[in-house]
Amino acid sequence: MDGSRIEDVGRARSLIEAGDFAGLAEFVAPLHSADLADILQQLEVEQQVQVLKRLDTGRAAEVLAELDEKSGSTVLQLLSDREVVALLEELPSDDAADLMSTLGPEKTERVEALLPRADREDIQELLEFGSETAGGLMQVERVAVRDDATVQDAIGVVRAAAAAQVESPQRVYVVSESGELVGFMGTIDLVLRTPETRVRDVMERNVVSVPVDMDQEQVAALFSRYNEFVMPVVDTANRLVGRITMDDIIDVIEEEASKDITRMAGTSDQEIGETSVFKVARTRLPWLVIGFLGEIVGAVLMSRYEASLAEFVVLVFFIPLIVATAGNTGMQAAVVVVREIALGQVAINRIGRRVFKELQVAFLNGMALGAMLFAIVYVWRHNAALGGLLWGSLLLVIFVAALMGSSIPLVLNRFKVDPAVAAGPFITVSNDVIGIAIYLTLASAYLRAH
């Protein structure tokens, strides 16, 4: 939020407090709904309601849809059932269903009773789909004609959809008698064709559609791949059941990126914007405990070499270095592989080749870092044998880290587990423990030899 927005919040607040609702109406009139929603979120909930009540219903619904889920839900609780119904009727079915899902069981029941039957059925249908599937993203507004309709009929459908404020009505889907999706027409095609033509004679038959149960991440990949602004959603019988618009896909892509990034760091995107310190701490603790327990195993491993380490404590100085370098290598490999999987750039038949590339990179960087370490140890401790031991250990540990960092996400993905979940703390802690084990094994062999 930049400076001018903070001023806007102050201005809105003082207008409300002064009871100057004419001034308030004038002030908010030129604002975009998204900006107005931003301002509202800085106000007290009673003030939010006062502003919303001064907007016409269409505008109020738009602003409501832009509020974050928590604020939207709080505001709705303070409105009467009739006011809620009026707002829901103004919204596209997907936004209406999202708001409905925050109402709580009692209010939902009362509001449903007041909704026109068609709207109620649409919303109930949408609420049955998983929120992270195509069904959860779609709106039921279909913008469709039968294949025996004329171009003139199709234009009528676009006009009606536009008049009803349906988003992106510029593509009309064509369905068969049984509701099967068979093609589409763009508004531009509609304008250029003779009105009496039958759509089935001029429609585009190659239509990319989305199965209603497809995961939202795959849906986003389809949008990105085909550069579409709107895509039709079909059920298992290829019947048209709804549409997804690209603006919802942008949210999905941002959400999926947040998920990947936070999971790899051992937490969850749930905590973004979470204000409860306890909830945040509880989200993070399990991952910290996993890392903690791994390092306890490391400590026990080290205790087995207690006598050797006490005698030759210089070995200890390099344990953090070995462990951290392995961790960094594993993380680099894991992150790139996870991202390539997310962008659909890893061929499933080329896992071996992908891992082999990481091993080559690890060899190059392991040799370079190992040589540096040898030189530093030689200058510092005048001990070439120790330098050699460290070079070899570092190379081996980096090699194992790269192998694990690249192969674990690929294997998880193959078994349909989100590769980002395990890529972070799991790989880091495994690398630490394995690194300590490799290093101490080599070191004790070295001590026996000297």
Considering only residues 267-286, where is the footprint of a copy of itself by CB under 8 A? Answer: 267, 269, 271-273, 275, 277-278, 280-281, 284-285
Contact between 358 and 406 under an 8 Å Cβ cutoff? The reply is yes
Across-strand partners of 44?
none
Provide the minimum distance between the beta carbon of 234 and a copy of itself in the complex, in angstroms, as a whole number: 16
CA distance 319 to 174: 67
CB of 414 to a copy of itself, least distance (A): 13
3-state SS class at 313: coil
Q: Is 303 in the site for a copy of itself (CB under 8 A)?
A: yes
Pairing of β 230-234 and β 210-211: parallel
Of 310, 399, 300, 420, which is closest to residue 355 (Cα–Cα)? 399
The answer to the question of residue 430 lying near a copy of itself (CB under 8 A) is: no
The nearer residue to a copy of itself, 52 or 334, going by C-beta atoms, is: 334
Q: Please pick, from the candidates 306, 415, 448, 449, the single residue that binds a copy of itself as defined by CB under 8 A.
A: 306
**β-strand partners of 172:** 185
| Contact residues for 168 (Cβ-Cβ < 8 A; gap 6+) | 229, 230, 243, 245, 246
**Nearer CB in complex with a copy of itself: 178/275:** 275
CB of 28 to a copy of itself, least distance (A): 12
**What minimum distance in Å lies between the beta carbon of 420 and a copy of itself?**
9
Helix residue spans in 55-116 (DSSP H): 57-66, 69-78, 81-90, 93-100, 105-114
* Minimal distance, residue 434 CB to a copy of itself, in Å: 12
Interface with a copy of itself, residue 298, by CB under 8 A: yes
d(CA 212, CA 236): 8
Instruction: Tell me the closest approach of the beta carbon of residue 70 to a copy of itself, in angstroms.
Output: 13
- Min separation Cβ 146 and a copy of itself, Å: 22
Cβ proximity of 358 and 402 under 8 Å = yes
**What are the start-end ranges of the H helices in 30-68?**
33-40, 45-54, 57-66
**Per CB under 8 A, 376 contacts a copy of itself:** yes
Cβ closest to a copy of itself, residue 107 vs residue 388: 388
What's the token pair of residue 223?
Answer: 């949008």
Which of 21, 312 has the CB closer to a copy of itself? 312
Residue 90 beta carbon to a copy of itself: minimum distance, rounded to whole angstroms = 16
What is the smallest separation between the CB atom of 344 and a copy of itself, expressed in angstroms?
8
Identify any residues that bridge with 234 across adjacent strands, giving them in sequence order: 211, 240
For a copy of itself, the binding residues in 211-270 under the rule CB under 8 A are 220, 223-229, 246-247, 249-251, 253-254, 257-258, 260-262, 264-267, 269
| The one among 75, 231, 373, 422 contacting a copy of itself by CB under 8 A | 373
Is the Cα dihedral 362, 365, 368, 373 positive or negative?
negative
- Beta carbon of residue 287, minimum distance to a copy of itself (angstroms, whole number): 7
> What does the alpha-carbon distance between residue 433 and residue 71 come to, in Å, rounded to a whole number?
45
Best CA proximity match to 159, nearest among 151, 168, 149, 169: 169
CB atoms within 10 A of CB 256: 20
Q: Which of 204, 180, 178 is nearest to 190 (CA)?
A: 204
Q: Is 117 exposed, middle or buried (0-12, 13-18, 19+ CB in 10 A)?
A: exposed
Out of 129, 173, 184, 318, name the contact with a copy of itself by CB under 8 A. 318
Among 18, 22, 118, 192, contact with a copy of itself (rule: CB under 8 A): 192
Q: Which of residues 112-171 bind a copy of itself (CB under 8 A)?
A: 158-159, 162-163, 168-170
- Work out whether 324 is an interface residue with a copy of itself (CB under 8 A): yes
Contact set for a copy of itself, span 330-359 (CB under 8 A): 331-332, 334-336, 338-340, 343-345, 347-349, 357
| Binding segment (CB under 8 A) for a copy of itself, from list 1-9, 43-51, 141-149, 209-217 | 1-9
Which one of the spans 51-59, 97-105, 196-204, 308-316 is the region binding a copy of itself (CB under 8 A)? 308-316
CB of 388 to a copy of itself, least distance (A): 17
Cross-strand pairs, 181? 175
With contacts defined by CB under 8 A, name the span among 14-22, 76-84, 183-191, 234-242 that binds a copy of itself: 183-191
Question: Under rule CB under 8 A, how many of the chain's residues touch a copy of itself?
Answer: 115
Q: Which listed residue (18, 25, 78, 372) binds a copy of itself by CB under 8 A? A: 372
Environment class of 432 (CB within 10 Å of its CB; exposed 0-12, middle 13-18, buried 19+) = buried
Burial label, 86 (beta-carbon count in 10 A; 0-12, 13-18, 19+): middle
Query: Quick one: tokens of 147?
Result: 């294949």
